[in-house]
Amino acid sequence: MRTWLNRQRLLIEYTVAALGRRRARSLGLLLTYTAVVFVLASVMLFTHALRQEAARVLAHSPEVVLQHLVAGRHALIPADYLERIPRQRGVREMTPRLWGYFYDPVVQANYTFMATADAPPPGHILIGPAMARARGVAPGNLIAWRAYDGAVHTFTVAGILDAHSELMSADLVLLGEDDFRGFFNYPEGQYTDIAIAVRNPREVRNVATRLSEALPDARLILRDEVLRTYAALFDWRQGIVLAILSGALLAFALLAWDKASGLAAEERREIGILKAIGWETGDVLRMKFWEGALLSGTAFLSGYVLAHVHVFHLHGALFRPVLQGWAVLYPRFALPPEIDPLQVLTLALLTVLPYTVAVLVPCWRAATTDPDAVMRS
């Protein structure tokens, strides 16, 4: 064991010296390599975080949303609609909701206004962290908006919403029902939609079917279906980026293969000398393994860390336009940092392994040739 450790230490020392001797080449390879890992890891981290975030958002949304359709278009829920919904078996709770969008020309962003039961007192609102940032307001400040009907409404900021899930709360404005109806001139007694909670989650589909039979002019939106659509959308976007990337990746692989397999004459000579003076093929391979592992390991680590900074601290500045479709609608939001061990492992296997193999194979060939050639070099 001691001997084994000593030997690895000596081999690593030799490797570091070898990398140092071929400084320009090693550095170039390291940089390219880091760049590739950086791009790959950025895409992975970004989509993963978005997906997690979407799941988190939807976890808070109702299992079923019921909308009223008129001529096939989403319309307001009429005042008597709630009574027309039969008391369904399996429905735990029905909550009529009031919400809408408001475009704020001052910060050029769209906000979601929502009336809630536990809203602040009349004339007061709760706002999302993104809006608080964008408009530079703190609790106690006043905000004035010119509503769609031209009238100016002034609200007092009662508090800032929890930033736990920014994708959800970033653009949110919570206010009382009367304030909401006043601001939007919303018809009394009518609602935007109805949120339905189901007693048994496995019964969602059956409950939805019974509801749509009872209310032919209603549209039912199931959370599970939205989740699936989101997942498909993210996978598709990630796919596009990966497809573009795979070209670059292939080029890199070829470069690495070429660099590694086109063993420099100098390197081949070195392997010959080592074998002649008593290194076994295994020793040479172990040394080369360390060389590949050190280089690709360093590149992997730095690429991954850079990607982490890029995605979670610089908000994925380079990929946002492609990966996040609704960026134009949303105010800026920050994704909570996520590290998925399986993802890290996949990335490591995708990058470290091929390179190490690409380095080892030609060396194995050089190392298994007869050492007597060294007498004639």
Partner 1 sequence: MSQPLIELREVCKTYNDGQPNAFTAIDGISLALEHGRISALRGPSGSGKTTLLTLLGCLARPTSGRVRIGDEDVSALPERFLTELRRQRFGFVFQQFNLIRGLSARDNVMLPAFPLGQPHAVLSARAQALLERFRLAHRADAPVEWLSGGEQQRVAIARALINDPDILIADEPTANLDTRLAEEFLQLMAELHADGKTIVLTSHDPLVLDSGLMHRIVTLRDGRVVDAQ
Nearer to partner 1 among residue 20 and residue 140 (C-beta): 20
Nearer to partner 1 among residue 72 and residue 278 (C-beta): 278
Report the DSSP beta bridge partners of residue 77: 191
In whole angstroms, how close is the CB of 295 to partner 1 at the nearest point? 17
Nearer to partner 1 among residue 122 and residue 282 (C-beta): 282
In whole angstroms, how close is the CB of 288 to partner 1 at the nearest point? 14
Nearer to partner 1 among residue 6 and residue 229 (C-beta): 6
Residues 85, 89, 92, 98: what is their CA dihedral angle, to the nearest 10 degrees?
-20
In whole angstroms, how close is the CB of 371 to partner 1 at the nearest point? 5
In whole angstroms, how close is the CB of 10 to partner 1 at the nearest point? 5
Among 272, 292, 302, 291, smallest CA distance to 375 is for: 272
In whole angstroms, how close is the CB of 375 to partner 1 at the nearest point? 5
Report the DSSP beta bridge partners of residue 345: none
In whole angstroms, how close is the CB of 294 to partner 1 at the nearest point? 17
Q: Residue 272 is which amino acid?
A: G
Among 346, 340, 358, 364, smallest CA distance to 51 is for: 340
Measured at the alpha carbon of residue 122, what is the angle toward residues 119 and 123, in degrees to the nearest 5? 110
In whole angstroms, how close is the CB of 335 to partner 1 at the nearest point? 46
Q: How far apart are the first and last CA of the chain?
A: 37
Q: E strand or H helix at 69, and its extent?
A: strand 64-70
Q: Which ranges in 62-188 belong to alpha helices (H)? A: 81-84, 129-135, 166-169, 177-184
Q: Name, in order, each residue with C-beta under 8 angstroms of 265's C-beta and a sequence gap of 6 or more.
A: none
Nearer to partner 1 among residue 177 and residue 267 (C-beta): 267
Nearer to partner 1 among residue 86 and residue 282 (C-beta): 282
Nearer to partner 1 among residue 27 and residue 248 (C-beta): 27
How far is it, in rounded angstroms, from Cα 136 to Cα 131?
8
Q: Name, in order, each residue with C-beta under 8 angstroms of 164's C-beta and a sequence gap of 6 or more.
A: 336
Residues that bind partner 1 (CB under 8 A): 2-7, 9-11, 13-14, 17-18, 20-21, 266, 269-270, 273-281, 283, 368, 370-372, 374-377
